[in-house]
Structure 1
């Protein structure tokens, strides 16, 4: 195996370990890390499979397509979720957790790995475009400019936080800012079987 492939596989495994986006929050009073909401028993799902999401998302966003998701081996994971990831480019990934049995999606995530140097701004702008497109998938009335403005507000509010969440209607937006180790934007349902507009 070549070095790039080994690095990609390692990264995908890192992205897919619970929780997918980072250590969720400061410890609670008992000294334990709280569980990410989508990992909890009975957590809601979106009313679509990852294949259905990808087909509709790519049709709406032909300039920002997401390649096919690949399941990640998660032996030893007792969450009863299937984890999958999609490599968009060398520093941009999408990942998901899928309910076993139904195949329904519990979380959708875009992770950007910073690339220091002259290409960093262009790479960050591309990541922002994907994150905003994901938000528009669920709120199609948002314009591109408005979705970028809302995303930037979320990113600013979550800056430096390993876990920041904001709920809007039936959606939970999550930011996990791990500095030079990466930035993740996630969207999760907070109602059972949520269907996008």
Structure 2
């Protein structure tokens, strides 16, 4: 890892707190699944992290993402490239990229709550970024609708080391570790066609 602040190291440990495959054996739990994006054949978004950042920043000039920096994970056997971007001392963006293509497998925002007079402001900033990320992928939502949707997801995932909800071609993930950090992630789902009916016609695409 190169010239990254200590808080970022903590944030990256928390981005998949939820994900048993990313935890030391003694911290794994049978109730915590491996992160789907770590599994063989997991899908990617049809864009690199540079393309995502360019499009996101064009749509969210007031909530910019700085350049992502690759993380040297010597003990990572997932064959993914991990990268992170610091937004503030308490908020970080991170990603996992497919090696070779550089396409995005997961986009994550992690808020590290620090008790004190600035905690409420830092939380509101984190919620604003999470809402912007959600709106980027769910077109047609107003800011208020996106915030309501985010609040509902965070409420459902409150206190859970791993909570996910599939909607269409997207997976929303919440990893709530209390005072150790809150992560919100968006990942692609692989779309497959269901079996044909008796007339030989396919229904609409289903996601898994």
The two structures have a TM-score, normalised by structure 1, of 0.87
Question: What is the root-mean-square deviation of aligned Cα atoms in Å?
Answer: 2.0
Ranges in structure 1 where 5+ consecutive residues have no aligned partner: 193-197
8 Å contact from structure 1 (residues 67, 87) kept in 2: yes
Structure 2 distance, partners of 1:132, 1:21, is 20
Q: Which has the higher contact order (CA 8 A, sep 6+)?
A: 1
Deviation of 1:144 (Å): 0.4
Structure 1 distance, partners of 2:99, 2:56, is 22
Task: Name the structure 2 match of 1:13.
Answer: 9
Ranges in structure 2 where 5+ consecutive residues have no aligned partner: 21-27, 192-208
**2:35 counterpart of 1:36:** yes
CA change 1:11–1:118 in 2 (3 A) is: closer
Task: Name the structure 2 match of 1:27.
Answer: 29
8 Å contact from structure 1 (residues 50, 105) kept in 2: yes
Question: Which stretch of structure 1 is more off in the superposition, 8-17 or 112-121?
Answer: 8-17
8 Å contact from structure 2 (residues 160, 177) kept in 1: yes
Task: Name the structure 2 match of 1:182.
Answer: 181
Structure 2 distance, partners of 1:145, 1:127, is 15
Task: Name the structure 1 match of 2:142.
Answer: 143
Task: Name the structure 2 match of 1:163.
Answer: 162
Structure 1 distance, partners of 2:99, 2:89, is 29
Provide the secondary structure at the position in 2 that maps to 1:160.
coil
The two structures have a TM-score, normalised by structure 2, of 0.82
8 Å contact from structure 1 (residues 84, 96) kept in 2: yes
| Matched length | 183
8 Å contact from structure 2 (residues 15, 109) kept in 1: no
Structure 2 distance, partners of 1:51, 1:21, is 22
Task: Name the structure 2 match of 1:83.
Answer: 82
Q: Deviations over 1:96-134 (max 9, x none)?
A: 000000100000000001121221111111100100100
**2:74 counterpart of 1:56:** no
**What stretches of structure 1 move > 2 A for 4+ residues in a row?**
8-17, 23-29
Task: Name the structure 2 match of 1:195.
Answer: none
